[in-house]
Amino acid sequence: MKKKIALIFGVTGQDGAYLSRFLLKKNYKVFGVKRRSSIINTQRIDDIYRDINLKSDFVLLYGDLTDSSSISHLIKKTKPNEIYNLAAQSHVKVSFEVPEYSADVNSLGTLRILDAIKNLNLEKKIKFYQAGTSEMFGRTKEKFQNEKTQFYPASPYGVSKCFAHWITVNYREAYNIFACNGILFNHESPIRGETFVTRKIIQGLIRIKNGNQKKLFLGNLYSKRDWGHAKDYVEAMWKMLQQKKPDDYVIGTGKTFTIKEFANRAAKKIGFKIKWIGKGINEKAVDIANNKVLIECKKRYFRPVEVDYLKGNAQKAKKILKWSPKNSIDNLIDEMIEHELKNPS
Ligand code: NAP
Ligand code: G4F
């Protein structure tokens, strides 16, 4: 039987790496799009090349979401059955520093792919997945967000992803493209980028434990996030494209924790006994064993405006996709710690 072909934009990212492995195990041929960088940045997918059973079906090609011609060329060359758009300037805080670039990649980049599908007359041949985010809910007052919750984005990143969401809906309705939006809540893993808060906390506390760092500096300790495991979430992306009809789905765990709660759990598992002292920007976590300060707050890690509370209601995905998360926050933290201990940075 002919193998299905997937084209993944953002293959070098956390989700790109998990999705590649997932699809290769399902017997797909996977083409991954990487950008040119001055230093090799394929660490997350290098082990696929080392896997004799996977490497012959995994091909990396250069491309960029800011370059329409590269997108059309890649689609013509690879003739995909499914396109996964995971590429983005994905850091919320950084999007305040580079708002125009974030919009170019995240919003117009999505439009460029959809428009290439349409202009190449491949509407009936290609299924499209768009990596949407709970950041689109932003400052919503709803306490359990689902597909019907109104968007109220609170960063250039969130706003850029709202454009991507609606242009995906628009091309689905206007041109009958099989296009789905996943509205994914935060998902993490041992290969999460080092500047996202979960990886930063675990990496920082282990460095402190090993004597390689003195303190960990964080921003807002009181925002709440619904954290799942990336490995569960890429399965949901694939499931969306296997349905009879294209649609949009919220993917989350339905549980939410503050950054402080995440840090407390991680610290305990790493072997610290901590207590919190002070208030606001002066709040600190102290190691009870020696009275040393382990965690401090720093103004530079706060955002101009914060998304205070996210909790995802994935009932629709549960019912239609038969999807539910397999990993708890504790499994996730354990796995992240184990990886960091084996691969100290
Ligand atoms: P990530 O680790 O930051 O990966 C982003 C990927 O996009 C990287 O491969 C990056 O390439 C690539 N990229 C950036 N700019 C590009 C451009 N101009 N052209 C082509 N590729 C470009 O993000 P992730 O956590 O895997 O997330 C995947 C997607 O899901 C993103 O769209 C993100 O916004 C969205 N999302 C993530 C979460 C989450 O919690 N992880 C939740 C909801 C939605 P380099 O490696 O070269 O930088
Ligand atoms: O880990 P974060 O940077 O993730 P954030 O902003 O929730 O965004 C991630 O999840 C989104 C899904 O909802 C994705 F769409 C997006 O691409 C990305 O993957 O920050 C989480 C929370 C924030 O409230 C932030 O203010 O942690 C708080 N925080 C506190 N101290 C910190 C820090 N965040 C970071 N990155 N670094 C800190 O030192």
Q: Which residues pair with 320 in a beta bridge?
A: none
Pocket perturbation via mutation, ligand 2, pick of 186, 257, 281 by most ligand atoms within 8 A of CB: 186
Q: Quick one: pLDDT at residue 152?
A: 98
Ligand 2 centroid to Cα of residue 7, in Å, is 28
The sign of the dihedral angle between the CA atoms of 172, 69, 45, 184 is negative
Measured CA to CA, the distance from residue 280 to residue 272 in angstroms comes to: 23
CA distance 53 to 33: 21
Task: Tell me the CA distances in angstroms from 340 to 16, 209, 218, 240, one per residue in order.
Answer: 20, 12, 19, 32
pTM: 0.98
Handedness of CA 221, 223, 229, 230 (dihedral sign): negative
Share of the chain above pLDDT 90, in %: 97
Within 10 angstroms of residue 178's Cβ, the number of other Cβ atoms is 20
Instruction: Tell how far the Cα of 196 is from the centroid of ligand 2, in angstroms.
Output: 6
Q: Compute the distance between CA of residue 320 and CA of residue 327 in angstroms, rounded to an integer.
A: 20
**In sequence order, what are the residues at sequence separation of 6 or more whose Cβ sits closer than 8 angstroms to the Cβ of residue 232?**
187, 325, 326, 327
Q: Residue 31: is its pLDDT beyond 90? A: yes
Number of neighbours of residue 49 by Cβ within 10 angstroms? 12
Distance of alpha carbon 250 from alpha carbon 144, whole angstroms:
11
> In the 8-state DSSP scheme, what is residue 98?
S
Contact 146, 296 (CB under 8 A): no
Q: Using CB atoms within 10 Å of the CB of residue 288, give its burial: 0 to 12 exposed, 13 to 18 middle, 19+ buried.
A: exposed
- Give catalytic status of residue 296 as yes or no: no
Atom of ligand 2 nearest to the CA of 226: 13
Instruction: Summarize pLDDT for 258-302 with one digit per residue, the tens.
Output: 999 999 999 999 999 999 999 999 999 999 999 999 999 999 999
Nearest ligand to the C-alpha atom of residue 199: 2
Residue linked to tokens 């609170």: 154
Q: Which two tokens stand for residue 246?
A: 């294209």
- For residues 102-111, give the mean pLDDT: 98
How many other C-beta atoms can be found within 10 angstroms of the C-beta atom of residue 292? 11
* Residue 187, ligand 1, Cβ within 6 A: yes
Question: Which residue has a Cα nearest atom 40 of ligand 1?
Answer: 186
Query: Going by CA atoms, what residue is nearest to atom 9 of ligand 2?
Result: 186
* DSSP H or E stretch at residue 8: strand 5-9
Q: What is the pLDDT of residue 106?
A: 99
What are phi and psi for residue 36, nearest 5 degrees? Answer: -70, 130
| Per-residue pLDDT, 55 | 85
Residue 40 pLDDT greater than 90, yes or no: yes
Cβ–Cβ < 8 Å for 9, 63 = yes
Domains of the chain: 5-190+228-254+310-327 (3.40.50.720)
What tens digit of pLDDT does each residue of 110-145 get?
A: 999 999 999 999 999 999 999 999 999 999 999 999
pLDDT for 33 equals: 98
